[in-house]
Chain A
């Protein structure tokens, strides 16, 4: 199949606020927009045949000039005219930044750059489409079931009832599976045309051009401070690459708006169109590159002031959200900083950069603060109790290796007073109640809240039924005091088995729905600034001769409201911290400026940390409960671990060597020229 015979497809509706639901046509035009774009799909009965046949396809391209060089194309930069994710203003300004900055006795004015980065989950993007009459059964690795269905429906121009998504286990996603890509549409088109099952899986190399990437960015940060460290002006101005036909904006400067107090403030996002694959969400979109840079710049300020970096941050702790003026729902950043400093032994930090040497190693400590907005999106779930007293939870929520099955089992077991083995969680099917899946760290908290609500509704139904049922021991008792525990419902010392109430009143079982509203329908999200926080600490060794940087230990202390599961939370946070370390030191998708091709196109060339790079890493979560966020008091944490983690590593490199690298990642050639000469 090529553009010559591919069926007509819907085109993306760019006015849709959230892009994951848009149409994503493939092979729809002879125009190639970027290197690596599919030009043909070859289907065969075996994998080997398909590969062999694909090798025989000879493509002739008519060349045309392209813009691939971010630095060289800066003259095309423009201001976006839409809100980021349909919600976040690209630019904000408070007070008079210029005047404030000019008046500040201590000023930092620095420009940093961050590279193209990719999600690259271990499990590649893959889709199997099985036709069933007019219907298509779509087994696809996706983070949002409803979005996958919508995109297929809008692309294939097919009745939504005909598309059935099945994705009980997704594998990793990290943002790259929020929306579907060519693999899904090509499999669906081919399965429909051939009336046979068709599977399309991307190779690792293909993933580098076809599954989205984090935009490269250039970020200017200006910090103006009093000599005591108090900030009078903060500006964070970001330029990133985008696609000439449809903007993707990472909210890189957005959390800077809520981080530190300062009367004069400025943030902006600008876009430079390049003929490269389009930017998409990559784990912690915005905060990952943004906090990396802002928290590095704060370290520069601390250095300029001769002040302890922890102290500098504490001194600039705001009492209300510094841009919106809203109260914080639950802000424990200072606690994170203090607890982290204590546990890490921060007082042993070398006060002077490049002053500690242990044998071959220049040793340095670094720290950074972390912040991330908590997001609430509409989520529904259904909980059904069978007559035997077992519960089934259904939602089209996904488990991308994050432990959704585990967490929802706990929440439902808790909510109904059942042992966990009496609860079954069913996820990842388009027949189930709609959620926004896994993404933006919203999955666990949002779906847990919906499940909790469904359980609450079920409890009310059951207690009401028992109370009105003369056969029940609970007949006529006050339902307000009802307790659900170990499969027993009790009121004032009188009890009855949950299963008996269900069996008697609902022989076919009973279900209830639970919902989590969108932020705009929940007043708390207009009345409070709701975030999660962290403090990162890192120790690195830098080889005094070769500039090889090796992480020695890392600690993160976090405040995330209530933790739903200590083990899955810790694993997310540690994974995020490692991600941050990789972003600081290794990850870099390099573009060949002549062709627009990503050259570092496999995991041997695009480096991410391996075990040997990651020594002792610890994540500590402060006790907490954020009742403004939701009834469970839980907030998202999947991406928080990244926010600021890389900056702690980068700042440790500075502390070790006195070399400040403002072009990420910090590879050894950038540090080498600043190292001391070889000693005798």
Chain B
């Protein structure tokens, strides 16, 4: 336990101003940050509590999309009737995560920024470039069953653990940010996260002090949506591999497809390769297999996680097949 100071922000502008002091961090639900502080992994000197900011609403947009306030809880978003009917993939992803208690506390902004579950990241005695830049990556050559098969680097092979973000990636959500200088910008979720490269400690394009104020869901793409999470136990467990898929198929062929994977990379992984391999093709297992092969063409295992390559392929194929059969949740 390190000492820190705490303040409760009254409005978004004050919050970003308050967090611009060195060592300051936002706290929302605290379900990730507090754990990491107790373990001495995160060491903020000052906490700016944004959990009570009026950013909890889920708002209808003129174009048919939705704006989800950064403080909307995972439970609220999952249960929202508009989300459930128009963005079922997001609702499914949310309820597959964590536990009811955690989802009641966890915020949309915090979920996007939750940190990896790499066990070496959690062990302050182990080398970890993400926690302590330059100290090496213990997962390489160590126990790496849950680690990345795509987009990893020699510096870090961690995965991003969020389910919600995978669904949002398939939906091509836009993240709205408020900067310390009070300027506002919008970043598409696929541009929001960074691959580890040589700087795995920098995980997003968020500037110091910048705050997520909301997530905008564009109007739902045509077609059916499904989130499939594969995990070691039936509940309360992060994904080994997950797939968020949205497929719109005509009589003969697939018109449009969105595919994102979770549990495979440093960020929720949109597979444009799989999408291309699906578009304009017949909705058959042969097509799905080709899409899976395309998605995993560059996949590399680290030893313990080699199985994820085959698992990701099979999970994608099955998810696509289920979508085609119209089984929303055949499980």
**A678 and B314 within 8 A (CB):** yes
Considering the chains assembled together, what is the distance between the CA atoms of A601 and B126 in angstroms? Answer: 13
Interface stretch (choices A383-391, A422-430, A664-672) = A664-672
Q: How far is the CB of B269 from chain A (nearest CB, A)?
A: 18
Determine the residue in chain B with the shortest Cβ distance to A615. B234
- Given known contacts A360-B330, A592-B143, A611-B235, A601 and B122 CB-to-CB distance under 8 angstroms: yes
Complex contact B234–A545 (CB within 8 A): no
In-complex Cβ contact of A610 among B40, B145, B235, B288 (8 A): B235
Q: How far is the CA of A592 from the CA of B141 in the complex (A)?
A: 9
CB distance A613 to B119 under 8 Å?
no
CB-CB < 8 A to B5: which residues of A? none
Q: Cβ of A524 < 8 Å from any Cβ of B?
A: no
What B residues does A547 contact at CB under 8 A? 311
Name the CB-closest residue of B to A541: B331
Q: Does A308 contact B (CB under 8 A)?
A: no
Give the A-B pair count, Cβ closer than 8 A: 98
Q: For the complex formed, measure the closest distance between the CB of A213 and the CB atoms of chain B, giving whole angstroms.
A: 16
Minimal Cβ-Cβ distance residue in B for A604: B117
Instruction: Provide the B285-309 mask, 1 if CB < 8 A to any CB of A, else 0.
Output: 1101100000000000000000100
A567 neighbours in B (Cβ, 8 Å): none
* A678 and B142 contacting across the interface, CB-CB below 8 Å: no
- Residue pair A607, B237 in contact (C-beta under 8 Å): yes
B232 part of interface (Cβ distance < 8 Å): yes
Please pick, from B120, B123, B307, the residue contacting A669 in the complex, using a CB distance under 8 A.
Answer: B307
B234 engages A610 (CB within 8 Å): yes
Is B207 positioned at the interface, with any CB of A under 8 Å from its CB?
no
Contacts of A611 in B (CB 8 A): 235
Closest beta carbon of chain A to B160's beta carbon, Å? 16
Number of interface residues of A (CB under 8 A): 40
Q: Which of A273-293 contact B (CB under 8 A)?
A: none
In the complex, which residues of chain B have a beta carbon less than 8 angstroms from the beta carbon of A672? 307, 310-311, 314
B152: interface (CB < 8 Å): no
When each residue 595-609 of chain A gets 1 if its CB lies under 8 Å from chain B and 0 otherwise, what string results?
101011110110101
Flag the segment in A48-56, A189-197, A342-350, A374-382 that touches B: A48-56
Q: Check A609/B143 contact, CB under 8 A, given A360-B330, A601-B123.
A: no
Contacting residues, chain A, for B145 (C-beta < 8 A): 669
Complex contact B236–A612 (CB within 8 A) = yes
A679 contacts the other chain (Cβ, under 8 Å)? yes
Residues of the B chain whose Cβ atoms lie less than 8 Å from the Cβ of A565:
none
Known: A48-B1, A51-B1, A546-B314. A592 touches B142 (CB 8 A): yes
Q: Which of A360, A546, A605, A678 contacts B285 (CB 8 A)?
A: A678
- B240 CB-CB contact with A under 8 Å: yes
With a cutoff of 8 Å between Cβ atoms, the chain A residues found around residue B104 in the complex are none
B311 touches A668 (CB 8 A): yes
Q: Is A421 in contact with chain B by the CB < 8 A criterion?
A: no
- Min C-beta distance of B203 to chain A, whole Å: 20
Bound form: Cα–Cα A609–B233 in Å: 7
B183 within 8 A of A: no
Question: Which chain B residues in 274-293 approach chain A with CB under 8 Å?
Answer: 284-286, 288-289
A471: interface (CB < 8 Å): no
Q: Are A359 and B330 in contact (CB under 8 A)?
A: yes
Specify which chain B residues have a CB less than 8 angstroms from the CB of A550 in the assembled complex. Answer: 234
A605-B314 CB under 8 A given contacts A51-B1, A52-B3, A672-B307: no
Does A75 reach chain B (CB closer than 8 Å)? no
Known contacts A51-B1, A594-B142, A610-B234: A601-B119 contact under CB 8 Å: yes
Indicate if the CB atoms of A546 and B235 lie closer than 8 Å.
Answer: no
Q: Is the CB of B236 within 8 A of A610?
A: yes
Asked whether A680 is an interface residue with its Cβ less than 8 Å from the other chain, the reply is yes
- Which residues of chain A come closer than 8 Å to B123, judged between CB atoms? 597, 599, 601
Is A548 an interface position by the 8 A CB rule? yes
User: What is the CA–CA distance of A597 and B142 in the complex, to the nearest angstrom?
Assistant: 11
Q: Is the CB of A612 within 8 A of B232?
A: no
Would you call A496 an interface residue if the criterion is a C-beta within 8 Å of the partner chain's C-beta atoms? Answer: no
Flag whether A431 is at the interface (Cβ < 8 A): no
Q: Are A548 and B119 in contact (CB under 8 A)?
A: no
The complex places the Cα of A640 from the Cα of B121 at a distance, in Å, of 39
**Complex Cα gap A672–B318 (Å):** 14
Those 8 A-B pairs whose CB atoms lie nearest each other, nearest first: A612-B235, A669-B307, A612-B234, A51-B1, A680-B285, A545-B318, A599-B143, A48-B1
Given contacts A586-B233, A610-B235, A679-B285, 13 further A-B contacts (CB under 8 A): A52-B2, A360-B331, A546-B314, A548-B230, A585-B233, A592-B138, A599-B142, A605-B119, A610-B237, A612-B233, A612-B236, A613-B235, A668-B230
Instruction: Jot down 27 A-B pairs with beta carbons below 8 A, ordered by A.
Output: A47-B1, A52-B1, A359-B330, A360-B318, A546-B315, A550-B234, A585-B233, A586-B233, A592-B138, A594-B142, A597-B123, A599-B143, A602-B122, A604-B117, A604-B238, A607-B237, A609-B233, A610-B236, A611-B235, A612-B233, A613-B233, A668-B230, A668-B232, A672-B314, A673-B310, A678-B288, A678-B318
